[in-house]
Amino acid sequence: MNNEALERLLAQQRSYFASGKTRSIHWRVEQLKKLKQAIIKYEPDILDALHADIGKPPMQAYGSEIFLCLHEINNALKKIHCWTRAQRVSTPWYMLPARSEIVYEPYGVALIISPWNYPVQLTFLPLIGAIAAGNCAIIKPSEFSPVTSSLLAKIIAEYFDPEYVMVVEGDAHRAELLLEQKFNYIFFTGSPKVGSLVMQAAAKQLTPVTLELGGKNPCIVNADCDLDAAAKRIVAGKFTNVGQSCVAPDYLFVHHSIKRQFIENLKKYIVLFYGQDPAANHDYPNIVTPEHVDRLAGLIQGANVLMGGTYDRQKRYFAPTLIELGELFAQHPSMQGEIFGPILPIIEYETIDYALGYITSKPKPLAFYLFTNDKKLQNTIINQTSSGGVCINNISLQAANLNLPFGGVGRSGIGHYHGKYSFLTFSHAKPIVKGSNWFDKPLYKSRSPLLKKFLDWVVR
């Protein structure tokens, strides 16, 4: 699809939106039901596609992709009438007898650019918000998950008119062509590097954006925590999808008094979950491309490898890997950017100030994890650090609750979504004031100095 074809498609969607069809709440509900029906019908194909692209085992794929999408749709169907209702707000006394309210209106045509690591979830979750808010949408899935991207195009084409929702496949050049067009909203999920390019393109058109990015998510393991439970949850959260998750813990600060025991616990659960030879475990997914394997191999150079470290470029395999970093940890390759793979650096700390000093000197992460029973320390992390979200004594749960906003801050993202927040993201909150002609306040006509004196008295 060339530039002219994209312009025609965008013009068709603008025309479709201008018809007013998408503004009907009943119609939005029907579209959400269609999407739910499509996901259910194509569930086996989705599972096969996810396995073909990144080797996701069926249960993991269902839980992290299909279930979350269906749960999000059910939540939207249940609450959309409440979300779309005009919200009455109080009116200042000096504006009476006027009435004030907020009306949520759709932006228009949205561009949704989704990644390869959770290609179904991270396509459909923002699409659900766009539909619930009354928008049209063009979807650009990742070329790094080609089987899933092709299936998404097939599903959308079967259930929706292209003038309403359409998938545009292609490589980075196709994404660049899309970003040259004038959209009413752009929703991007991916790396900070590409997110910066998306924001630059949006700025040329003054298009509002949501950027769901990532970052180096820190995890502090304090001496007083349940070491066994912490190790189990960290291994589960880190190595799910072989670490190719934006909310996975990226590195650990472990208190020196428990480090050796904790490392043994981590090893125990890696073996328990994936066996002595994870390469033979069908529930252990693949790295997305051989080039990504090469990148990960470079991140363990010069480190003390405690476990794993083996890989196979052609099979796109990289073992669950624990590395220990010394005093010069900040200079190691694994600490220069988001790992996005099954490598977990472990750093020893003696005082919490030491760990926090490093963490707070870096860009704000998408997630901050803390394992401790110390309420004072918990409050310190919550109140004295900044991150997209915080999860205490567990991993990734902050991203699974639809009642919480999910998103980053600074380099880890702009804006948030999930549940009602998805609807709000794709909606313009339009303020409305309804005046009245039955009473014209004399103060409006007065030029008396008494008016100023009265107003000064009210506000001081």
The tens digit of pLDDT for each residue in 202-234 reads: 999 999 999 999 989 999 999 999 999 999 999
Instruction: Check: CB of residue 189 under 8 Å from CB of residue 122.
Output: yes
CA 86 to chain centre: 28
Which are the contacts of 38, defined by CB distance < 8 A and separation ≥ 6?
155, 158, 159
| Residue 359 vs residues 327, 423, 434: alpha-carbon distances, Å | 15, 33, 50
Is the peptide bond prior to 285 cis by the omega test (within 30 degrees of 0)?
Answer: no
Regarding whether 294 and 151 lie in a shared domain, the answer is no
Q: Tell whether 322 is covered by a domain.
A: yes
Q: Tell whether 95 is covered by a domain.
A: yes
Domain of residue 309, residue span: 218-399
Q: Tell whether 404 is covered by a domain.
A: no
Q: What is the pLDDT of residues 278-293, one digit of tens each?
A: 999 999 999 999 999 9
Question: How far, in Å, CA of 150 to CA of 451, rounded?
Answer: 68
- How much is the pLDDT for 440? 58
Regarding whether 191 and 113 lie in a shared domain, the answer is yes
Regarding whether 67 and 190 lie in a shared domain, the answer is yes
Question: How far, in Å, CA of 167 to CA of 150, rounded?
Answer: 9
- How much is the pLDDT for 96? 85
Instruction: Check: CB of residue 272 under 8 Å from CB of residue 320.
Output: no
SS (H, E, C) 186-209: EEEECCHHHHHHHHHHHHHHCCCE
Regarding whether 366 and 256 lie in a shared domain, the answer is yes
Which are the contacts of 261, defined by CB distance < 8 A and separation ≥ 6?
227
| 3-class DSSP assignment, residue 368 | strand
Regarding whether 274 and 301 lie in a shared domain, the answer is yes
- Torsion angle in degrees (nearest 10) through CA of 267, 236, 230, 227: -20
CATH number assigned to the domain comprising residue 189: 3.40.605.10
Q: Tell whether 140 is covered by a domain.
A: yes
Final residue of a domain: which of 399, 420, 453?
399
Regarding whether 232 and 201 lie in a shared domain, the answer is no
Closest CA to 232 of 246, 224, 221, 218: 221
Regarding whether 137 and 272 lie in a shared domain, the answer is no
- How much is the pLDDT for 455? 73
Regarding whether 36 and 60 lie in a shared domain, the answer is yes
Q: 183: number of CA atoms within 13 Å, CB side? A: 30
Question: How far, in Å, CA of 134 to CA of 166, rounded?
Answer: 15
Residue 133 structure tokens: 């808010």
- How much is the pLDDT for 343? 98
Q: What's the domain count of the chain?
A: 2
- How much is the pLDDT for 292? 97
Q: Tell whether 199 is covered by a domain.
A: yes
What single-letter DSSP state applies at residue 435? Answer: -
Torsional class of 206: left (φ above 0), alpha (ψ -120 to 50), beta (otherwise) = left
Say if pTM beats, i.e. exceeds, 0.85: yes
CATH number assigned to the domain comprising residue 358: 3.40.309.10
- Where helices occur in 96-240 by DSSP H, the ranges are 121-133, 146-159, 172-179, 192-205, 227-239
Q: What is the mean pLDDT of the chain?
A: 95
Spell out, as residue ranges, where the chain has pLDDT lower than 50.
Answer: none
Q: Tell whether 450 is covered by a domain.
A: no
Q: 176: number of CA atoms within 13 Å, CB side? A: 4
- Residues 315-347 as b/e (b if ≥16 CB within 10 A, e otherwise) read ebbbbbbbbbbeeebeebebbebbbbbbbbbbb
- How much is the pLDDT for 460? 76
- The catalytic site residues sit at 212, 246
Regarding whether 160 and 72 lie in a shared domain, the answer is yes
Regarding whether 202 and 254 lie in a shared domain, the answer is no
Q: Tell whether 147 is covered by a domain.
A: yes
- How much is the pLDDT for 445? 53
Regarding whether 233 and 374 lie in a shared domain, the answer is yes
Q: Tell whether 227 is covered by a domain.
A: yes
Regarding whether 171 and 280 lie in a shared domain, the answer is no
